[in-house]
Amino acid sequence: MTDIKIPPDHPRAESLRIREKLIAYYSEGMVAVAGLMAHGRGETFDYLLGEKTTKSALKAINAAAVMLLTAKKPVISVNGNTAALVAEEIVKLAHVTNAKIEVNLFYRSLERELVIKKRLKKAGAHEVLGVGENALAKIPELSSERRRVDPNGILVADVVLVPLEDGDRTEALVKMGKKVVAIDLNPLSRTAQNATITIVDNVVRAMPRLVETVEKLKCQGKSELKEVLLNFDNRKNLTEIIALIKESLSELAEKGETLSFGESAI
Ligand code: ATP
Ligand code: MG
């Protein structure tokens, strides 16, 4: 960790703690510089959403839980930011959904892959795919190092969870016929727009909720689960979130109200 002491009563203590965590893992070589920038971009949208898990996000989390539970070969794709922020939840989710965990980086280097693998192993992962020579398969349509995936993981997966992914790769995965579940605070990003299910929420709030929801739904029958997916419309859900942002901004502009921040769903 860095030397900065965050006063517990600081109004943005939690946000500062997350930033410090990312900076510390950046120093360890886990998070890329561009990962720090991506986090800042995410924070902007989190502000606009009142730093809450919205009802629309809860609907997407529910649908995502079902998609993962009913998948034949689910894979959780992990990058530097997600390993830094939610390694324990990734391992828990892999356990309850029988999913494989694969390191998949925009800025790939063996050093970064190994640091991420170590963090995931420490969090309890049995197996971590996509490291070093194991990432020898290639996603069609993508260039350079960004196309490398594990032939036992993402290449053969039917459902891929991509918390924080780049738009090009999301599109490429969808074109390969995979169902993509994304966690992305920006409802306008190409990832959010192209994923099969988009959870517009902070990964630090969404991942524990996703684990909880999978645990809750695990005992339900196949037909009940299918019903959840049939009733979920990703386009409609994204539109609801964009409308929510618009409404809260309009209220602020008209009444001069302040945004309310907190944990509960809005
Ligand atoms: P795209 O390539 O999908 O159009 P982009 O180029 O703007 O998006 P990327 O860096 O490729 O952004 O992807 C990172 C995404 O992760 C961004 O949309 C950012 O808002 C989002 N993000 C960053 N931090 C978090 C977080 N803690 N929780 C959820 N989403 C986050
Ligand atoms: Mg991008």
Task: Please give the backbone phi and psi of residue 37, each rounded to the nearest 5 degrees, phi first.
Answer: -65, -40
Domains and CATH numbers, the chain: 55-240 (3.40.50.12640)
Average pLDDT score, the chain: 93
Residue nearest to atom 16 of ligand 1 (CA): 164
> Is pTM, for the whole model, over 0.75?
yes
C-beta neighbour count of 84 within 10 angstroms: 23
Cα of 169 vs centre of ligand 2, distance in Å, is 9
Q: Compute the C-alpha angle 88/218/116, nearest 5°.
A: 20
Q: How far is CA 200 from the centre of its chain?
A: 9
Residue 262 has pLDDT above 70, yes or no: no
Q: pLDDT tens digits for 116-149?
A: 999 999 999 999 999 999 988 998 878 877 789 9
Query: How high is the pLDDT of residue 3?
Result: 62
Q: Tell me the average pLDDT across 231-257.
A: 91
**Ligand 2 centroid to residue 10 C-alpha, Å:** 32
- The predicted model gives 56-82 an average pLDDT of 98
Assess whether pLDDT exceeds 70 at residue 244.
yes
Q: Which of 207-211, 241-245, 251-255 has the lowest mean pLDDT?
A: 251-255
The whole-number pLDDT of residue 150 equals 96
What value does the mean pLDDT take over residues 50-69?
A: 97
CB of 166 sitting under 6 A from ligand 1: yes
Q: Which of 3, 48, 46 shows the shortest CA–CA distance to 23?
A: 3
Ligand nearest to the CA of 79: 1
Q: What is the pLDDT of residues 76-117, one digit of tens each?
A: 999 999 999 999 999 999 999 999 999 999 888 999 999 999
User: What pLDDT was estimated at residue 255?
Assistant: 77
Indicate if the pLDDT at residue 40 is higher than 70. yes
Mean pLDDT along residues 169-196: 97
Cα–Cα distance for residue pair 117/37, rounded to 1 Å? 23
